[in-house]
Every structure is written in C-alpha cells, then in structure tokens.
Chains A and B, each alone.
Chain A
Amino acid sequence: TQLLEQSPQFLSIQEGENLTVYCNSSSVFSSLQWYRQEPGEGPVLLVTVVTGGEVKKLKRLTFQFGDARKDSSLHITAAQPGDTGLYLCAGEWNAGGTSYGKLTFGQGTILTVHP
C-alpha cells in the first residue's frame, strides 16, 4: 500500500495571508492530483501534475511536483474566505503495470480562511 502524508492537517489563517500544503511519499508516483472538497460534496479536481519538477498555476494557487515525483506542494497566495475547504492530494501509482486510475489519497488539509 502506497502512503501519502499530507500536512498540515488543519490550517486556520486570516484573509490575505499565504499558505503552503505539503504532500509527501516514499514512493514514486506517475502523477499527482490535487482536489478541493466542500462539505456535503465530492472532491473536485484542481490540477494534475505528471512531470518531475513541474509547476502549474491556477490563479492564486501554485502546484509543484517534486523532481523525484515523491512529493508535491500547493501554495495559495493572498488567501480568501472562498478558499475555505478540504484540500486533498492523491497519487496514481504504477507498479510496473497500469494503475487503472486508482488513486491513493492523503489525509487532507482542512483550510479555514477568516475574513
């Protein structure tokens, strides 16, 4: 079983502050996805990173995949109350074959942005 360690588990900040969420593993992943989940809803994909060292930006969100494809980070600049939610990283892992899209999820980071 592949494990993804996500940190921090909880993050409570003021509007306008910056934050970073980390996702680490001892395994190499073929791709890593970041999801956002609101209460009572399913996760919604934010971004997928595939290449080691890859950086993707989505407005105020910056996602990075580690060079060795074992870790990733999500950085939010100037957080807003609308960013409040559960953020999940999820890795797709191939053991020399195909993973069929199966995802291994981190524990999640509950982000609260206060006005």
Chain B
Amino acid sequence: NAGVTQTPKFRILKIGQSMTLQCTQDMNHNYMYWYRQDPGMGLKLIYYSVGAGITDKGEVPNGYNVSRSTTEDFPLRLELAAPSQTSVYFCASSYSRKPNTEAFFGQGTRLTVV
C-alpha cells in the first residue's frame, strides 16, 4: 500500500524562488494536513483540508498556499522562498475527525533555502 506519498524528498531552493511540494494519498481520506518540522522541534501545522475544495490555515501559514482540487492531492506552494522556510515538511491524512483517529504521515520533504 502506498499510503501518503510526498515528492520531492529533497530540494534546495534559492531565496525568492518558488516551488510546489506534492502530496497524494490513496486511502480516500477526507482530511489532509501539512506540517513543518524544524531541528529539535515538534511538528507545526501549516494548512489543513477537510475535503476537496475546502482548506484552512493552521498555526504557521505565512509564506505558503494550498489547494485541494481532488480528494487524493494536497499540494503546498511556496511562492517566495526564504531561509526561514528551511525545514522538513510532512503531509498527513486521516479518514475521520474523531479523536481516536490515526493520522498517516508521508516520508517528508527536506527543503533548504539558500
């Protein structure tokens, strides 16, 4: 089973460049999330989606945008990359909003902005 797939795994960007981090899941989950993980820190929520066409901001949304045109895909867009966006990005999905629901995470995208 593929689960949650993220691409690319690694990327180096120059300041001011833009890129899209791809995330796709094959579990037919309605709920999808983007987190970032800085060294020595836990994960922080960037954006989330409760279904196709519906997205909302998380704790640290500035500098990012998302879209959810299909249930499977939830891309994260960086428009003007900044060094502060150097981080590891994780996409996750879950099938329910109930508290006892497991979130499945992708393997992450390690992004360096220089």
B91 → A minimal CB distance (Å): 8
Residue B48, interface by CB 8 Å: yes
Q: Could you give, for residues 20-51 of chain B, a 1 whenever the CB lies within 8 Å of some chain A CB and a 0 otherwise?
A: 00000000000101010000111111001010
Interface: A92 (CB within 8 A): yes
A43 to B92: give the CA distance in the assembly, Å.
10
CB <8 Å contact, A40 and B48: no
Within the complex, what minimum Cβ distance (angstroms) separates A92 from chain B?
5
Taken residue by residue from 84 to 106, chain B's Cβ proximity to chain A (1 for < 8 Å, 0 otherwise) reads as 00000010101011011111011
> Does B107 make an interface contact (CB < 8 A)?
yes
Check if A100 sits within 8 Å of B50, measured CB to CB: yes
Indicate whether A99 sits within 8 Å of B43 (C-beta atoms), given known contacts A1-B59, A40-B107, A40-B108.
no
Chain-B contact segment, one of A12-20, A71-79, A102-110: A102-110
Give the chain B neighbours of A9 by CB distance below 8 A: 40
For B75, what are the chain A residues with a Cβ–Cβ distance below 8 Å? none
A98 contacts B97, C-beta separation under 8 Å: yes
Query: With A42-B105, A100-B31, A105-B43 in contact, is A48–B99 under 8 Å at CB?
Result: yes
Q: Of the candidates A6, A42, A48, which one forms a contact with B107 in the assembled complex, judged by CB atoms under 8 Å apart?
A: A42
Closest 7 CB pairs of A and B: A42-B105, A105-B42, A31-B99, A105-B43, A45-B102, A30-B99, A101-B94
- A sample of 21 inter-chain contacts (CB < 8 A) reads A4-B42, A30-B99, A40-B107, A42-B90, A42-B105, A42-B107, A43-B43, A43-B105, A50-B99, A98-B97, A99-B97, A100-B48, A101-B101, A101-B103, A102-B45, A102-B48, A105-B42, A105-B43, A106-B42, A107-B42, A108-B41
B contact residues vs A (CB 8 Å cutoff): 4, 31, 33, 35, 40-45, 48, 50, 58-59, 90, 92, 94, 96-97, 99-103, 105-108
Q: Beyond the given A31-B100, A90-B43, please list 19 additional residue pairs across the A-B interface where CB-CB is below 8 A.
A: A1-B59, A6-B42, A31-B99, A33-B103, A40-B107, A42-B90, A42-B108, A50-B100, A88-B42, A100-B31, A100-B48, A101-B94, A101-B96, A102-B33, A107-B41, A107-B42, A108-B40, A108-B41, A108-B42
